[in-house]
Amino acid sequence: MTARHRRFTSSVPSPSQQILDGGRLRRSAYLLLGALAGLLGTTLLLTGSAPAGPSQPPLKGLLEVGWSIEAADSHLRRTGWSPAPVRQPDALDRLRAGTRLSSLSDCSGTGLGFCRYDYRRGAVNLSVITLPEQAMLELIEPQQPATTNGARVVRWLQADSERSWGLCASSSAPNRLVPCPDQ
């Protein structure tokens, strides 16, 4: 190697030297971080909330009204939800629900027979509300006979925010179920 070649190679710092010496790569990294922070700030300003992270599963289309609770339970478990009842149901709740699912929390003692099943995925709590098929049909299509008396999904809600999807009680027509306002 000639002296001239040695002089040329020694005058060009390696990338690691540039980072340690505060070279262009370090400045570029700071500019990139600043741009990313600016994008996050713009998102917060325009939407009022941070972008949804991977721990926040989409809930709007998670279930469908009319699914049997067994089908809903199977779907939820396949998509990473785990049973997380807020209380242990008693024998009467189990009898009213007509199922042995471990996610059952309780059933109403009067009225139409609503039952609640609770699940958890990460930090998100989900409650699924069911009605016996006959009671559900009476509220939606009174002339249609039930084919079974199994529990059917009526609505599901994010327990921490009380946002609901599915069918909710009508404020204008008692004993009627209508799409929940959050939809």
pLDDT band at 148 (very low <50, low <70, confident <90, very high): low
pLDDT value for 143 = 57
User: What's the CA gap between 56 and 88, in Å, rounded?
Assistant: 26
Q: Is the pLDDT at 64 greater than 90, yes or no? A: yes
Q: What is the pLDDT of residue 54?
A: 46
Please name which of 128, 155, 161 lies closest in space to residue 56, comparing C-alpha atoms: 161
Q: What is the pLDDT of residues 6-53, one digit of tens each?
A: 544 445 555 444 444 545 544 444 444 444 444 433 333 333 344 444
Amino acid 146: pLDDT: 53
pLDDT band, residue 101 (cuts 50/70/90): very high
What is the rounded distance in angstroms from the CA atom of residue 115 to the CA atom of residue 81? 18
Radius of gyration from C-alpha coordinates of the chain:
28
**How many whole angstroms separate alpha carbon 39 and alpha carbon 155?**
36
What burial letters (b/e) apply to 62-74, b meaning 16+ CB within 10 Å?
A: bbebbbbbeebbe
CB 139 within 8 A of CB 176: yes
Answer whether residue 164 shows pLDDT above 70: yes
**Low-confidence winner among 66-70, 82-86, 159-163 (lowest mean pLDDT):** 159-163
